[in-house]
A and B are shown apart, each in its own frame.
Chain A
Amino acid sequence: MLLVVVASTSCSRCGARAVPDAGAGPDRAWLEGRPTPELGLVSRTGGTLTLRAAVEPTGFSRIDDRFAEGTMARYTTGTIYETLARVDPSKPDGALLPWLARSWALTDRSLTLELLHDVGFHDGSAFDAADVRATVAAVLEAKNPTVGLRAALGPISEVVVETPDRVVVRYSRGPSPFEVRALLGGVPAMPSEALAGPYDVAPIHQHPIGTGPFRFVRFTPGDRLILERVANHRAPALVDAIHVRFVKDDTIAAQLWEKGEFDLMTRIPPAHWRAIEHEPWAWKNYRRFRIDENAYAWIGWNLKRPVFADVRVRRALAMLYPAEVISKAVELGLERRTTCPFWIDSDSCDPEVRPIPFDPARAKALLDEAGWKDADGDGVREQGGVRLEFAFLMPTTSARLGKVLPLFQEQLKNAGVSMTMEPVDGAQLMSRMRAHDFDAAALSWSSPDALSDQWEIFHSSQAEGGKNYVQYAGADELLDRIRTASEPAERKRLERELHRRLFADQPYLFLTARPALDAVKNRVHGLTPSLAWYELAKGWVDP
């Protein structure tokens, strides 16, 4: 991943990849989904960039929980909206780069921000410190559905406008690096006038107004989102317009892609990624990007259930997960196994921690040792009258789990563990997980930032109302220390310790880091994949 980032960074300043030889077949970069340097090209303005989106938004204001869906955040941040600071694509886990804030200074309990001059919103109003205060106030307002961002911002006590270009954010305690990062990189600038009045029905949710290089033109449900270039932007984009086309059905999207209707094809299903590897229309006309995102899939065990109370049982279940078979049959060799809650290539993961190998014999021995034995000969182990059986809560729409779970179930059965699949629709899944009304379930966590705070996922205080669905309580003190560690080196050391602790306790069976599989048409240049996705404003197209 590091190599990919380095290569892609260098190519953002250079130019185009060699045109493939029609008779030669796909090259290694294509097969591996590796970005290649674009050499000797001069950028140009004009044209339209058309992207495929698999998810359709219900709204566009980036601070609202209802509209916080990750994919749409990518299409609107850096295009319509800008934040005070941004992630450096070449150093995703490094320091933030200035954006709407020229600089910032953190003292014990306050953060002073110096803002850019002469920045305007798309509605013609000027951006200043009052807009920062209004946006933060909207996030902090307890009545607003902005819980996700509010929790990330930490204990802000007040936001003081000192001058139009200077704003001071005061905290009731010293903010953690995550909280500062959330404020700088997660709060978009929104005009204060647009946030006045009833928040819930504010027009800005449907007609976003930002300071970015593209302005919102139109959203047609079921069809597309259209953005157009802001000509007088301080860092103008190169293409005239971006069309985000919503095609939910992967099969139809694949056909449209083959017809050449997308400049940037996103979310290619693994099976299709493999199927088109040697298709001339694909490798001659597109570059493929296999991007390791900060995302991982996991199986969570509800630790309050008696069958999962003993860590030896959880380790035995991990030994029964047929990872290699699933890698070949389901993931098609495109995903990397992980044991870590952090970005797989970050220093926060301890490289010494290796996945638990598939080993049914050891799993059986471990279950015996834990006292789970099949005394009555019915094929299912029991202990003190409790059978070693559980239900796996899964969404009905998950084709992936539909393939993975039967393979896992077979291994469990052979070891005397009974697992039943419990399919529920999406509207039930999360409410049941939040209510801890499940035995085992699978989800994936993702973040556009390389740094991620695991407090909300693993701290015991987050079992009720937070994301600690499995009710883990084994690392509270460590998680608290990570939150307040101000030195990056110390924080990484603590995060490695957390990684080791989670691996030892196995509240999750960590599965794989999921890559994003995208393809970019050869006529498109300047789009460099990174953890923070693509900088669309830097993309340009051939005539």
Chain B
Amino acid sequence: MTRRLLLTRLGWLLPSFLVITAVTFAVAHLAPGDPLQLSEDSVTNQAVIEDARRQLELDRPLLHRYGIWLGRLVRFDLGASVTDRRPVLDKIGEALPRTVVVSGLALLLAVAASIALGTFLARRTDRLSGALSASLALASGVPSFWVAVLLLLVFATPRGVEWFPLQGLASSPEAGLFDRLWHLVLPVACLALPTTAMLARYVREGVAAALEQDFIVAARSRGLDERRLLLRHALPNALVPVITIVGLQLPHVFAGSVVIERVFGIQGMGLLAYESIGTRDYPVVMGVSVVMAAVTLGSMFLTDLAAVVADPRARLPGSDR
């Protein structure tokens, strides 16, 4: 059953991808606005605008354009940006690593911190745990731009302690590893905070529930020490829903955050998507969408796979999971 389910899901990936890209293509191209008439400084002559429109094939019917775009996609050709004529792959190639580093580190930090925090909170019912739980609830509800600006004001400006840099991912293009890591601290912390708050609550609930399961009680009665009981038995059970949520968070690692990237001056995928939508740079919009669709579908599939691996019940004969 499990294999069949996974094969079915695998089979749905291509149609899902086509639907996502088709809808994105239609919405992007049907939105009002013109990439060739963005400012009073840009092209003013109608004949040249029409010529450029023909060159970019913007004068063709929408379905025809989508077909052309799909044909190029098969050859891994995402086209060139309307605004600067640079290959879309180059632009994504520049932005994606920045976003993956920042968001990936943030997710790793969030997972590690949430497991530690959630496990700690599941076993405590004192004031400290109450205060921490309340703080987590608060942290998950605070807007990220507010946290970003607050972190900058406190830790990066002359009004605060100026421990960290304000902008970018390096002081200069020749900056060393330590400088680059130092630049990552605030954006990573800012991105990790809400995810940590959310995941920690799942871990706390999961561990607390697992600790009350019969097999845990039985293991405890056999004299298994609490540390081993928690780490070997309760925690793996509690992590199954967490794995699903982390899997669903994976697209964010590649998509980036417009707010965080803007505030911290990181030219990543979030800003690339935001700016290309604003300038109606259709090839870039579609390039970013392809990456996002692939990552989202891929991570959903991997999440299913991981859940099967992590949950022994899913591997039992006759399981319908």
Which residue numbers of A lie inside 8 Å of B, CB to CB? 58-59, 65-70, 142-143, 145, 147-148, 151, 200-201, 205-206, 218, 220-224, 226, 247-249, 251-252, 255-256, 258-259, 261, 281, 424-428, 430-431, 434, 443, 445, 456, 464-467
Contact = CB atoms under 8 A, between A and B. Distances in A.
Given A66-B84, A145-B52, A431 B173 contact: no
B197 to A, nearest CB: 26
Question: Which 9 A-B residue pairs are closest in the complex by CB-CB distance?
Answer: A222-B267, A427-B33, A58-B84, A465-B46, A431-B34, A147-B45, A431-B37, A428-B33, A65-B43
A148 B41 contact: yes
Chain A, interface SS category: mixed
B173 A430 contact: no
B44 interface: yes
13 contacts: A69-B39, A147-B44, A206-B86, A221-B94, A226-B173, A252-B152, A255-B158, A259-B157, A259-B166, A426-B279, A427-B34, A427-B35, A430-B38
A299 B234 CA distance: 69
A466 B40 CA distance: 10
A408 B207 CA distance: 61
Interface residues of B, number: 46
Contact of A465 (B42, B45, B80, B262): B45
Contacts of B216: none
Interface of B: 32-35, 37-48, 51-52, 55, 80-81, 83-86, 94, 149, 152, 156-158, 162, 166-168, 170, 173, 262-263, 265-267, 271, 278-280
Nearest to B162: A259
B45 A430 contact: no
B278 A427 contact: yes
Contacts, number: 127
Contacts of A465: 44-47
Contacts of B262: 248-249
A430 B40 CA distance: 7
Contacts of A148: 41, 43-44
Contact of B43 (A147, A258, A456, A464): A147
Given A69-B39, A465-B47, 11 more contacts: A58-B83, A147-B43, A147-B45, A223-B173, A223-B267, A252-B263, A252-B265, A255-B156, A261-B166, A464-B46, A465-B45
Contacts of A220: 173
Nearest to B94: A221
B136 to A, nearest CB: 29
A430 B265 contact: no
Contacts of B263: 249, 252
A431 B33 contact: yes
Given A222-B271, A223-B168, A465-B46, A201 B156 contact: no
A19 B149 CA distance: 34
Contacts of A65: 41-44, 48
Nearest to A217: B173
A445 B41 CA distance: 10
Given A255-B166, A259-B157, A431-B33, A445 B48 contact: no
Nearest to A68: B41
Contact of B167 (A58, A66, A247, A445): A247
A260 B136 CA distance: 37
B172 to A, nearest CB: 8
Contact of B280 (A70, A223, A427, A443): A427
B44 A466 contact: yes
B91 to A, nearest CB: 8
Nearest to B87: A201
B40 A467 contact: yes
A218 B173 contact: yes
A48 to B, nearest CB: 10
A75 to B, nearest CB: 15
A59 B41 CA distance: 14
